[in-house]
Amino acid sequence: MLGLGRQPPSDPVRVGLGVLPRHLGDRVMRTDHGPTNLAALRTLAINALRLAGHPNIAAGLRQHTRTPQLPLATLGLT
């Protein structure tokens, strides 16, 4: 028994400092995969710029950094 009289989850997954049931643990970004997650986001950004027709990725990144609504428009979220 835990301190408050509750039973622990039947199949816990440790995520950060908390404990989540197995079916919820799959939806959380794991903390030990940080570099892999950042690489996936970087690849997403580069491919979105290529699909939008930017000939120079560095210039496209600078342009999207300066205009707050432009990344959302490029991804079709506005």
pLDDT per residue over 9-52, tens digit each?
554 554 454 565 665 555 555 567 888 889 999 999 999 999 99
pLDDT of residue 1: 45
**What is the Cβ-side half-sphere exposure of residue 13, based on CA atoms within 13 angstroms?**
13
Is the pLDDT assigned to residue 56 strictly greater than 70? yes
Please check whether residue 57 is in contact with residue 45, taking contact to mean a CB–CB distance below 8 angstroms: no
Closest CA to 10 of 28, 22, 26: 22
Is the pLDDT assigned to residue 78 strictly greater than 90? no
Is the pLDDT assigned to residue 71 strictly greater than 60? yes
Q: Where are the domains of the chain?
A: 12-74
Angstrom distance (rounded) from CA 71 to CA 41: 13
Tokens, residue 46: 């580069």
Query: Taking the model in full, what pTM does it have?
Result: 0.55
Tokens, residue 60: 């496209």
pLDDT of residue 29: 56
Q: For the chain, how many residues are written?
A: 78
pLDDT of residue 27: 58
